[in-house]
Amino acid sequence: MENFHTEPIPDERPVKKSTRSGCLGLFIDTIETVLLAVVLFLGINAISARVRVENISMKPTLQPNEFVLINKLAYELGKPSHGDVIVFHYPLDPTQDYIKRVIGLPGDTVTVGGGIVYVNNTPLTEPYIAQKPTYTGTWKVPANSLFVLGDNRNESSDSHIWGFVPLSDVVGKALVVYWPLDSMQILDHPDIVKAAP
């Protein structure tokens, strides 16, 4: 009687793998992994930045030593709004980056008096500030510029002291506090002028 096989008979001889091709394969896999990591790193850095809060000027919203994720494309794709928390190059020393809240947009008139901030004569309701401002003044925001204030109004070096932020100096919009973990939060950006009474 003849034997019929429906499956091929495995070759019982052991196949000797080339050591060279194994090492070469590992090397190629490693190079591909490193290149992918570099591409991802560069891509993420092109659209975002990570910033460490250095001082108390944005308390209570942001605390010193918190790390914040910044969207660098926010204003490439859109425009700043009242209430946005932004990172920008400090106009008097562009090697330093500051983080503040947008109060006035181009063309706005910002007035501070009696502990209240007004934008185009509209008083702002600002539950996020540390305390009411004790200073006074009126500023007309020029074209292509922003007026910014720290949430810790009386302990902040901001537009009420040194002037306006050119739009070209804006790095991006602050999105999330991601470190330390117990401080993690999505940053709220209320349109403080539209929300005003």
**175: enclosing H helix or E strand:** strand 170-179
User: What residues have CB less than 8 Å from 49, skipping those under 6 apart?
Assistant: 69, 70, 72, 87, 171, 172
Whole-angstrom CA distances from 75 to 14, 47, 66, 170 are 63, 11, 23, 8
Q: Two tokens at 31?
A: 């190079």
Q: Cβ(191)–Cβ(81) under 8 Å?
A: yes
Q: Find where tokens 């000797």 sit.
A: 16
Rg for the chain, CA atoms, rounded? 28
Q: How far apart are CA 107 and CA 122, in angstroms?
A: 14
Q: Which of 59, 100, 145, 156 is the catalytic position? A: 100
Return the sign of the alpha-carbon dihedral for residues 99, 102, 103, 106. Answer: positive
Annotation says 100 is catalytic: yes
Q: How far apart are CA 110 and CA 91, in angstroms?
A: 19
Backbone φ and ψ of 161, nearest 5°: -105, -50
Q: Which of 16, 21, 57, 72 is the catalytic position? A: 57
Annotation says 57 is catalytic: yes
Greatest CA span in the chain, whole angstroms? 110
Question: Which positions are catalytic?
Answer: 57, 100
